Amino acid sequence: MSSRVESVIDEAHADGRGVLIGYLPAGFPNVQTSIDALIALSESGVDIIELGVPYSDPVMDGVVIQRATNASLAAGFRLAQLFDIIRAVTAKVDTPIVVMTYWNPIVQYGVDRFARDLKEAGGVGLITPDLIPDEASEWIAASDAHGLDRVFLAAPSSTDERLVATITNSRGFVYAVSTMGITGARADVDVAARSLVDRLTGLGATHVCVGVGISNAEQVRSVTGYASGAIVGSHLVSALTTDGPEGVARATSELVAGLSHVKA
Protein backbone atom coordinates (compact mmCIF):
# COMPACT_ATOMS: atom_id res chain seq x y z
CA MET A 1 0.00 0.00 0.00
CA SER A 2 1.43 3.38 -1.00
CA SER A 3 2.15 6.03 1.61
CA ARG A 4 2.10 9.71 0.75
CA VAL A 5 4.20 10.49 3.82
CA GLU A 6 6.87 7.99 2.77
CA SER A 7 6.86 9.53 -0.72
CA VAL A 8 7.48 13.00 0.74
CA ILE A 9 10.34 11.67 2.87
CA ASP A 10 11.85 9.79 -0.08
CA GLU A 11 11.65 12.87 -2.32
CA ALA A 12 13.41 14.98 0.31
CA HIS A 13 16.07 12.31 0.76
CA ALA A 14 16.65 12.29 -3.00
CA ASP A 15 17.30 16.03 -2.70
CA GLY A 16 19.88 15.36 0.01
CA ARG A 17 17.90 16.44 3.05
CA GLY A 18 15.56 15.26 5.77
CA VAL A 19 12.04 16.51 6.38
CA LEU A 20 10.56 18.95 8.87
CA ILE A 21 7.32 17.88 10.55
CA GLY A 22 5.47 20.66 12.34
CA TYR A 23 2.89 20.11 15.08
CA LEU A 24 0.00 22.37 16.05
CA PRO A 25 -3.17 21.55 18.02
CA ALA A 26 -6.52 21.72 16.25
CA GLY A 27 -8.76 24.63 17.18
CA PHE A 28 -6.16 26.74 19.00
CA PRO A 29 -6.70 29.52 19.80
CA ASN A 30 -9.86 29.20 17.68
CA VAL A 31 -10.80 27.26 14.58
CA GLN A 32 -10.09 29.96 11.97
CA THR A 33 -6.73 30.95 13.49
CA SER A 34 -5.84 27.28 13.69
CA ILE A 35 -6.53 26.92 9.97
CA ASP A 36 -4.48 30.04 9.17
CA ALA A 37 -1.57 28.79 11.29
CA LEU A 38 -1.55 25.37 9.62
CA ILE A 39 -1.51 27.01 6.19
CA ALA A 40 1.37 29.20 7.40
CA LEU A 41 3.25 26.05 8.43
CA SER A 42 2.92 24.64 4.94
CA GLU A 43 3.72 27.83 3.08
CA SER A 44 6.81 28.41 5.25
CA GLY A 45 8.38 25.06 4.37
CA VAL A 46 7.08 22.29 6.61
CA ASP A 47 7.04 19.00 4.70
CA ILE A 48 4.44 17.22 6.82
CA ILE A 49 1.83 18.66 9.20
CA GLU A 50 1.13 16.93 12.50
CA LEU A 51 -2.30 18.07 13.68
CA GLY A 52 -3.04 17.38 17.33
CA VAL A 53 -6.45 16.44 18.70
CA PRO A 54 -7.10 18.31 21.97
CA TYR A 55 -7.62 15.83 24.79
CA SER A 56 -8.42 16.26 28.46
CA ASP A 57 -5.68 13.91 29.70
CA PRO A 58 -2.62 14.49 27.48
CA VAL A 59 -0.11 12.39 29.41
CA MET A 60 2.73 12.83 26.91
CA ASP A 61 2.39 16.57 26.32
CA GLY A 62 4.39 19.28 28.04
CA VAL A 63 3.06 22.47 29.57
CA VAL A 64 3.01 24.55 26.38
CA ILE A 65 0.93 22.04 24.44
CA GLN A 66 -1.28 21.22 27.43
CA ARG A 67 -2.18 24.89 27.83
CA ALA A 68 -3.01 25.20 24.15
CA THR A 69 -5.13 22.06 23.99
CA ASN A 70 -6.94 23.00 27.20
CA ALA A 71 -7.69 26.42 25.70
CA SER A 72 -9.04 24.76 22.57
CA LEU A 73 -11.33 22.52 24.62
CA ALA A 74 -12.45 25.45 26.77
CA ALA A 75 -13.35 27.33 23.58
CA GLY A 76 -15.69 24.49 22.65
CA PHE A 77 -13.61 22.37 20.28
CA ARG A 78 -15.32 19.14 19.24
CA LEU A 79 -13.79 16.22 17.38
CA ALA A 80 -16.03 16.71 14.34
CA GLN A 81 -14.36 20.11 13.83
CA LEU A 82 -11.06 18.32 13.21
CA PHE A 83 -12.33 17.23 9.81
CA ASP A 84 -13.55 20.73 8.96
CA ILE A 85 -10.07 22.08 9.75
CA ILE A 86 -8.38 19.44 7.60
CA ARG A 87 -10.73 20.17 4.68
CA ALA A 88 -10.04 23.90 4.93
CA VAL A 89 -6.27 23.41 5.01
CA THR A 90 -6.07 20.81 2.24
CA ALA A 91 -8.19 23.08 0.04
CA LYS A 92 -5.35 25.62 0.18
CA VAL A 93 -2.13 23.58 0.42
CA ASP A 94 -1.05 20.05 -0.48
CA THR A 95 1.18 19.29 2.52
CA PRO A 96 0.11 15.91 3.94
CA ILE A 97 -1.65 16.09 7.30
CA VAL A 98 -1.11 13.36 9.88
CA VAL A 99 -3.33 13.55 12.96
CA MET A 100 -1.76 13.00 16.39
CA THR A 101 -4.32 11.69 18.85
CA TYR A 102 -4.65 9.71 22.02
CA TRP A 103 -6.67 6.58 21.47
CA ASN A 104 -9.72 7.15 23.66
CA PRO A 105 -11.32 9.86 21.46
CA ILE A 106 -11.08 7.51 18.47
CA VAL A 107 -12.74 4.68 20.37
CA GLN A 108 -15.53 7.02 21.45
CA TYR A 109 -16.02 8.28 17.88
CA GLY A 110 -15.79 4.81 16.32
CA VAL A 111 -12.54 3.51 14.85
CA ASP A 112 -13.73 2.73 11.33
CA ARG A 113 -15.95 5.82 11.24
CA PHE A 114 -13.00 7.99 12.25
CA ALA A 115 -10.75 6.42 9.62
CA ARG A 116 -13.40 6.97 6.96
CA ASP A 117 -14.04 10.59 7.94
CA LEU A 118 -10.30 11.34 8.17
CA LYS A 119 -9.70 9.97 4.69
CA GLU A 120 -12.68 11.85 3.25
CA ALA A 121 -11.47 15.12 4.82
CA GLY A 122 -8.03 14.74 3.21
CA GLY A 123 -5.95 13.45 6.13
CA VAL A 124 -3.34 10.79 5.44
CA GLY A 125 -2.94 8.96 8.75
CA LEU A 126 -2.59 8.90 12.52
CA ILE A 127 0.15 9.15 15.11
CA THR A 128 -1.06 7.25 18.19
CA PRO A 129 1.22 7.87 21.20
CA ASP A 130 -0.65 5.67 23.68
CA LEU A 131 -1.50 2.78 21.36
CA ILE A 132 0.94 -0.09 20.94
CA PRO A 133 0.84 -2.43 17.94
CA ASP A 134 -0.16 -5.40 20.11
CA GLU A 135 -3.43 -3.63 20.97
CA ALA A 136 -4.03 -1.97 17.60
CA SER A 137 -5.72 -4.68 15.56
CA GLU A 138 -8.90 -2.63 15.03
CA TRP A 139 -6.91 0.43 13.92
CA ILE A 140 -4.63 -1.63 11.69
CA ALA A 141 -7.68 -3.08 9.94
CA ALA A 142 -9.36 0.32 9.58
CA SER A 143 -6.21 2.05 8.31
CA ASP A 144 -5.69 -0.68 5.74
CA ALA A 145 -9.32 -0.47 4.65
CA HIS A 146 -9.14 3.31 4.14
CA GLY A 147 -5.54 3.60 2.93
CA LEU A 148 -4.20 5.58 5.89
CA ASP A 149 -0.73 5.72 7.39
CA ARG A 150 -0.22 4.62 10.98
CA VAL A 151 2.69 5.93 13.03
CA PHE A 152 3.64 4.16 16.23
CA LEU A 153 6.14 5.46 18.77
CA ALA A 154 9.49 3.94 19.72
CA ALA A 155 11.32 4.85 22.92
CA PRO A 156 14.93 4.31 24.05
CA SER A 157 13.60 1.88 26.68
CA SER A 158 11.89 -0.34 24.07
CA THR A 159 13.16 -3.89 23.65
CA ASP A 160 14.30 -5.04 20.23
CA GLU A 161 11.19 -7.24 20.06
CA ARG A 162 8.98 -4.20 20.66
CA LEU A 163 10.90 -2.15 18.09
CA VAL A 164 10.45 -4.85 15.45
CA ALA A 165 6.69 -4.87 16.11
CA THR A 166 6.63 -1.07 15.84
CA ILE A 167 8.56 -1.10 12.56
CA THR A 168 6.45 -3.89 11.06
CA ASN A 169 3.15 -2.22 11.87
CA SER A 170 4.06 1.41 11.13
CA ARG A 171 3.42 2.97 7.74
CA GLY A 172 4.66 6.48 6.95
CA PHE A 173 7.44 6.56 9.52
CA VAL A 174 8.39 5.38 12.98
CA TYR A 175 8.22 8.17 15.57
CA ALA A 176 11.40 7.96 17.65
CA VAL A 177 10.97 9.65 21.02
CA SER A 178 14.35 11.22 21.72
CA THR A 179 13.90 11.59 25.47
CA MET A 180 12.09 9.75 28.19
CA GLY A 181 9.33 12.01 29.43
CA ILE A 182 6.95 14.66 28.17
CA THR A 183 7.25 16.91 25.16
CA GLY A 184 8.74 20.38 25.28
CA ALA A 185 11.64 22.34 23.89
CA ARG A 186 14.98 21.43 25.47
CA ALA A 187 18.43 22.96 25.24
CA ASP A 188 19.87 19.64 24.10
CA VAL A 189 18.13 16.87 22.23
CA ASP A 190 18.92 13.68 24.12
CA VAL A 191 21.88 11.72 22.80
CA ALA A 192 19.64 8.66 23.15
CA ALA A 193 17.91 9.73 19.94
CA ARG A 194 20.84 8.80 17.72
CA SER A 195 21.23 5.45 19.45
CA LEU A 196 17.51 4.72 19.08
CA VAL A 197 17.52 5.62 15.38
CA ASP A 198 20.56 3.36 14.87
CA ARG A 199 18.71 0.50 16.57
CA LEU A 200 15.57 1.07 14.49
CA THR A 201 17.43 1.22 11.18
CA GLY A 202 19.49 -1.80 12.17
CA LEU A 203 16.25 -3.69 12.70
CA GLY A 204 14.91 -2.71 9.28
CA ALA A 205 13.21 0.68 9.63
CA THR A 206 13.54 2.82 6.51
CA HIS A 207 11.70 5.97 7.64
CA VAL A 208 12.40 7.23 11.17
CA CYS A 209 11.60 10.72 12.42
CA VAL A 210 12.70 12.12 15.78
CA GLY A 211 10.51 14.18 18.08
CA VAL A 212 10.40 15.59 21.60
CA GLY A 213 12.74 18.43 22.45
CA ILE A 214 13.63 19.97 19.06
CA SER A 215 13.37 23.75 18.99
CA ASN A 216 15.96 25.33 16.69
CA ALA A 217 17.62 25.02 13.30
CA GLU A 218 20.82 23.53 14.69
CA GLN A 219 18.87 20.70 16.32
CA VAL A 220 16.94 20.14 13.09
CA ARG A 221 20.27 19.98 11.22
CA SER A 222 21.72 17.53 13.73
CA VAL A 223 18.71 15.22 13.78
CA THR A 224 18.24 15.14 10.01
CA GLY A 225 21.88 14.16 9.71
CA TYR A 226 21.02 10.68 10.98
CA ALA A 227 17.19 10.43 10.84
CA SER A 228 14.59 10.86 8.11
CA GLY A 229 13.10 13.92 9.74
CA ALA A 230 12.75 16.22 12.73
CA ILE A 231 9.43 16.81 14.52
CA VAL A 232 8.85 20.18 16.19
CA GLY A 233 5.87 20.91 18.42
CA SER A 234 6.17 23.05 21.54
CA HIS A 235 8.36 25.65 19.84
CA LEU A 236 5.75 26.23 17.14
CA VAL A 237 2.87 26.26 19.62
CA SER A 238 4.74 28.92 21.62
CA ALA A 239 5.14 30.98 18.46
CA LEU A 240 1.42 30.69 17.73
CA THR A 241 0.54 31.59 21.31
CA THR A 242 2.71 34.70 21.27
CA ASP A 243 2.52 35.99 17.71
CA GLY A 244 -0.27 34.16 15.90
CA PRO A 245 0.08 32.65 12.41
CA GLU A 246 2.75 35.23 11.53
CA GLY A 247 4.84 33.94 14.42
CA VAL A 248 4.37 30.39 13.20
CA ALA A 249 5.58 31.43 9.75
CA ARG A 250 8.71 33.08 11.17
CA ALA A 251 9.53 30.18 13.47
CA THR A 252 9.04 27.67 10.68
CA SER A 253 11.28 29.59 8.29
CA GLU A 254 14.01 29.60 10.94
CA LEU A 255 13.69 25.85 11.48
CA VAL A 256 13.72 25.13 7.74
CA ALA A 257 17.22 26.63 7.60
CA GLY A 258 18.36 23.48 9.41
CA LEU A 259 17.35 21.28 6.50
CA SER A 260 20.27 22.43 4.37
CA HIS A 261 22.48 19.67 5.76
CA VAL A 262 23.26 17.12 3.05
CA LYS A 263 23.12 13.56 4.30
CA ALA A 264 26.04 11.28 3.57
One pLDDT digit (tens) per residue for the chain, 264 residues: 789 999 999 999 999 999 999 999 999 999 999 999 999 999 999 999 999 999 766 556 677 777 888 878 788 899 999 999 999 999 999 999 999 999 999 999 999 999 999 999 999 999 999 999 999 999 999 999 999 999 999 999 899 999 999 999 999 999 999 664 444 444 455 678 899 999 999 999 999 999 877 889 999 999 999 999 999 999 999 999 999 999 999 999 999 999 964 443
Q: Is 36 a catalytic residue?
A: no
Catalytic residue list contains 188:
no
Q: Which domains does the chain have, with CATH numbers?
A: 4-258 (3.20.20.70)
Closest CA to 65 of 76, 79, 50, 80: 50
Catalytic residue among 47, 61, 149, 190: 61
3-state class of 175 per DSSP?
strand
Alpha-carbon span 206 to 185, nearest angstrom: 26
What are the start-end ranges of the H helices in the chain?
A: 4-14, 31-43, 63-74, 79-90, 103-109, 111-121, 137-146, 160-169, 192-202, 217-223, 234-256
- Selecting among 47, 50, 117, 149, the annotated active-site residue is 50
The structure's pTM equals: 0.92
